[in-house]
Amino acid sequence: MATQVTKRKFDVVIVGAGGSGMRASLQLARAGLNVAVLSKVFPTRSHTVAAQGGIGASLGNMNEDNWHYHFYDTVKGGDWLSDQDAVEFMCREAPKVVYDLEHMGMPFDRNPDGTIYQRPFGGHTANYGEKAVERACAAADRTGHAMLHTLYQQNVAAKTSFFVEWMALDLIRDAEGDVVGVTAMEMETGDVHILQAKTTLLATGGAGRIFAASTNAFINTGDGLGMAARAGLPLQDMEFWQFHPTGVHGAGVLLTEGCRGEGAILLNSNGERFMERYAPTLKDLAPRDFVSRCMDQEIKEGRGCGPNKDHVLLKLDHLGAETIMKRLPSVFEIGHNFANVDITREPIPVVPTIHYQMGGIPTNINGQVVTKKDDVTNTVVNGLYAVGECSCVSVHGANRLGTNSLLDLLVFGRAAGNHIVEFNNKNKEHKDLPKDAADLSLARLARLDSSTSGEYAQDVANDIRASMQLHAGVFRTQKSMDEGVVKIAELRERVKSIGLKDKSKVFNTARIEALEVDNLIEAAQATIVSAAARHESRGAHTVDDYADSAEFPNGRNDKEWHKHTLWHSADNSLSYKSVQMKPLTVDSVPLKVRTF
Ligand SMILES: Cc1cc2nc3c(=O)[nH]c(=O)nc-3n(C[C@H](O)[C@H](O)[C@H](O)COP(=O)(O)OP(=O)(O)OC[C@H]3O[C@@H](n4cnc5c(N)ncnc54)[C@H](O)[C@@H]3O)c2cc1C
């Protein structure tokens, strides 16, 4: 157990070295600020490295495209829950941030004329839904890998300080509610440190590990969400979790949508390309929530494949071995390693798998964390920013379009970086640290060491994951979600008494795992409580009880539910705020029924 608390001072502390954290840190280090980036793992092992398919930007390198189409697709893909000012900002900035990466040396695939190669992706269309368009800028099926390494190298050159294998524990807020830094544990020594900063940026990625079957890395435990929740800040739209249609059956590992972008198709047990029936225009490239639902429908109606009729097939062999090895080499390896299938010869079994969190810590388009005061006013939390998957700005609404996340990291990472530089220029002095700066974190650690309950972190974590999978999975019912609310509340009590096994030889990694459960439970409870309260189907939140009807097409009830959810940890309560329908310069995309 740590006894020593040392203090260090920086201009900016960034928690997270994924794409969003490193895009922001680059902006700051280049401006000469003293910036510390903390990461639980080596920066290039952050989950961004696993992104396969691409970065969305309307470069128009293959066919005519422009940001207006991208804007429309994003709002429609998000089932009209996105804030349209943020969406406009992102889609307009997209080409700029992709060219920035190109100039940094990112090894994009190329067309014969030297321009960046772009592939089609789910929900990407030209002329407002008329036909599919190639918008995903790709480096084979290793786009995130190429991007993260590029950003890391640039940060090293710009002299960003990395604190590798450091786990941020809690935000430090002063009496005025301003954020003045974080506490963190150095994993090697177990020492707790106070990192004081004029601004703190959370870039901790998603919380996909609150579910049992997920495409996410094991480190994606929602630490930033937990830190925000414990500091009294709300979490927004947490009921919306994206299921990726093509997780390897039985393993959950992702097969990029780039497969279907390159021409792969989904088949049922009759060998039928069923997406043609559900989405005549976009077929297999309809948005993810829609495709996942269609797959489930096929399985429910008895056309699933395999002995248990519990999956469908993704067929790639008609693309030819040459295209597969050039454009989808990692998918080939995944097929071999996780399904024992040679995808150049036979189809691979797939099921929808948890993939991406649309909700998160609410921010404005500068990345500043906001809390709601009333229905129209957002109040900024001084000194605190959030970007990337842990944040909710909200561009993805109720369902994210493929490739818009990597884009979100770049656009808002850069924007937050620029805004922080301004903030730091205006605020020359650090604010004082409160006396009790480290108390909360030290108490959390002391609790682990003193508990004699026999309640262990991994048992509780596994129960959280199983409950979330069962009660807030791809297909939800009101009854099951209501039961989930009760179960997660019980699990929250168990979390409070977690202790360490065999205290005489505890490693710090065991402490880290136990501390992560404090974060898992916040993300899980935010999700299940927000989900059970939303009495409609919208985007990724599909509830059997709220099915398609004449009054509520697709089960969506705009009159009552066209609003953002805010979950408050302190009293496990909810409040709501309006969706920003007004873009920055163009006309809004008015509410419409979503068909493809
Ligand atoms: C398999 C897969 C494929 C994907 N493919 C695509 C794609 O093709 N296109 C697309 O747009 N999106 C894709 N996505 C989504 C996208 O990759 C992620 O949303 C995005 O990379 C998240 O980036 P991030 O910077 O927010 O966080 P991450 O990359 O997850 O990084 C989080 C960072 O926070 C650090 N961290 C977390 N907690 C702490 C703590 N307590 N203390 C210190 N450090 C901490 C971690 O160490 C890590 O450095 C994919 C996602 C997955 C899982």
Question: How far apart are alpha carbons 496 and 489 in whole angstroms?
Answer: 11
Distance from residue 152's CA to the centre of ligand 1 (Å): 14
Nearest-CA residue for ligand 1 atom 10 is 403
**Ligand 1, atom 13, residue with closest C-alpha:** 51
Spatial neighbors of 474 by CB under 8 A, at least 6 apart, are: 243, 292, 296, 352, 542
Mean pLDDT of the chain: 95
Give the list of residues 6+ apart from residue 122 with CB closer than 8 angstroms, or none: 257, 260, 261, 282, 285, 286, 287, 288, 291, 401, 402
**48 annotated to a ligand binding site:** yes
Q: How many angstroms separate the alpha carbon of residue 517 from the centre of ligand 1? A: 18
Nearest atom in ligand 1 to the alpha carbon of residue 406 is: 11
Establish whether 18 is an annotated binding residue.
yes
Residue 379 pLDDT greater than 60, yes or no:
yes
Instruction: Give the residue whose CA is nearest to atom 44 of ligand 1.
Output: 39
122 assigned ligand-binding residue:
no
User: For ligand 1, which residues put their CB under 6 angstroms from it?
Assistant: 15-21, 38-41, 46-48, 50-54, 143-144, 166-168, 203-206, 215-216, 219-220, 223, 254, 256, 356, 388-390, 402-406, 409
Taking the CA of residue 167 as reference, the ligand 1 atom at the shortest distance is 42
pLDDT for position 375: 60
Q: How far is the CA of 17 from the centre of ligand 1 (A)?
A: 9
C-alpha 361/C-alpha 202 separation (Å) is 9
Q: Is the pLDDT of residue 4 over 70?
A: no
Determine the residue of 405, 407, 518, 520 to mutate for testing ligand 1's pocket, defined as the one with the most ligand atoms within 8 A of the Cβ atom.
405
* Rounded distance from Cα 205 to ligand 1 centre (Å): 5
DSSP 311: B
145 labeled binding residue: no
* Strand duo 368-372 + 378-386: pairing: antiparallel
Least confident of 173-187, 377-391, 416-430, 498-512: 498-512
Ligand 1 atom nearest the C-alpha of 254 is 1
Asked if residue 39 belongs to a known ligand binding site, the reply is: yes
| Probe target for ligand 1 pocket from 14, 15, 26, 48, with the most ligand atoms within 8 Å of CB | 48
Pocket mutation for ligand 1, best pick of 101, 164, 201, 204 (most atoms within 8 Å of C-beta): 204
Report, as an integer, the average pLDDT of 370-388.
84
**548 neighbors 536 (Cβ within 8 angstroms):** no
Range from 64-78, 372-386, 559-573 carrying the lowest mean pLDDT = 372-386
Q: How far apart are CA 472 and CA 482, in angstroms?
A: 10
Is 75 marked within a binding site?
Answer: no
pLDDT(166) > 90? yes
Nearest atom, ligand 1, residue 216 CA: 53
Ligand 1 atom, smallest distance to 404 CA: 11
Which residues are marked as active site?
288
More confident residue, 391 or 258: 391
Rounded mean pLDDT, 241-259: 91
Cα–Cα distance, 223 to 169 (Å, whole number): 8
Tens of pLDDT, residue by residue over 199-217, are 999 999 999 999 988 888 8
pLDDT over threshold 90, residue 580: yes
Using 50, 70 and 90 to split pLDDT, how confident is the model at 501? Answer: confident
pLDDT band at residue 162 under the 50/70/90 scheme: very high
What one-character-per-residue DSSP string does 416-447 give? HHHHHHHHHHH--SPPPPPTTTTHHHHHHHHH
Write the residue with the smallest CA distance to atom 27 of ligand 1: 205
The least confident of 9-23, 145-159, 175-189, 209-223 is: 209-223
Mean pLDDT of 339-359: 95
pLDDT confidence of residue 236: 98
Would you say the C-alpha torsion 56, 59, 62, 63 has a positive or negative sign?
Answer: positive
50 is in an annotated binding site: yes
Between CA 124 and CA 284 the distance in angstroms is: 12
Nearest residue CA, atom 8 of ligand 1?
A: 53
Distance 19 CA to ligand 1 centre (A): 7
**Rounded distance from Cα 144 to ligand 1 centre (Å):** 9
CA distances from 532 to 57, 482, 538, 557 (A): 35, 6, 13, 15
Residue 163 has phi, psi (to 5 degrees) of -110, 95
pLDDT of residue 212: 87
Where residue 287 falls among pLDDT bands split at 50, 70, 90?
A: confident
Q: Which atom of ligand 1 is nearest to the CA of 43?
A: 49
Work out the average pLDDT over 568-572.
97
31-63 pLDDT per residue, tens: 999 999 999 999 999 999 999 999 999 999 999
Give residues with Cβ within 8 angstroms of 273, minimum separation 6. 265, 266, 267, 283, 284
pLDDT tens digits, residue range 437-482? Answer: 999 999 999 999 999 998 999 999 999 999 998 999 877 999 999 9
CA–CA dist 490, 275 (Å, integer): 41
Q: How far is the CA of 281 from the centre of ligand 1 (A)?
A: 32
| Mutate-to-test residue for ligand 1 from 240, 406, 515, highest number of ligand atoms within 8 A of CB | 406
What domains sit in the chain, N to C, each tagged with a CATH number? Answer: 6-241+357-371+379-426 (3.50.50.60), 242-356 (3.90.700.10)
For residue 104, pLDDT beyond 80? yes
Buried b / exposed e along 455-468 (16+ C-beta atoms within 10 A): bbbeebbeebbebb
Tell me the CA–centroid distance for residue 268 and ligand 1, in Å: 32
- Residue 238 CA neighbour count, 13 Å, CB half: 37
Q: Ligand 1, closest atom to CA 355?
A: 53
> What distance in angstroms lies between residue 535's CA and the mean position of ligand 1's atoms?
30
- Is 409's pLDDT higher than 60? yes
Cα separation, 135 vs 180, in Å, equals 40
- Residue 135 pLDDT grade (very low, low, confident, very high; cuts 50, 70, 90): very high
What pLDDT sits at residue 3? 57
**Closest C-alpha to ligand 1, atom 52:** 51
Q: For a pLDDT cut of 70, what percent of the chain falls above it?
A: 98
The pLDDT, as a whole number, for residue 2 is 46
Structure-token match 């090895």, residue found: 325
Q: Cα–Cα distance between 70 and 87 in angstroms, integer?
A: 9
**What would you report as the CA-atom Rg of the chain, rounded to the nearest whole angstrom?**
23
* 208 in a known ligand binding site: no
Confidence of residue 142 (pLDDT cuts 50, 70, 90): very high
pLDDT score of 289: 84
Atom nearest to 387 CA in ligand 1: 26
Token pair for 160: 């960003």
Mutation pick for ligand 1 pocket among 15, 23, 44, 47 (CB with most ligand atoms within 8 Å): 47
Q: Cis peptide before 530, with omega less than 30 degrees from 0?
A: no
Alpha carbons 240 and 534: distance in angstroms, whole number: 10
Q: Is the pLDDT of residue 416 over 80?
A: yes
Residue 389 marked ligand-binding: yes
547: Cβ contacts below 8 Å, ≥ 6 apart: 537, 555
pLDDT at 169 over 90: yes
Q: Cα(529) to centroid of ligand 1, in Å?
A: 24
Distance CA 501, CA 293 (A): 42
Say if residue 105 carries a ligand binding annotation: no
pLDDT value at residue 374: 57
Task: Give the pLDDT confidence score for residue 250 in this predicted structure.
Answer: 86
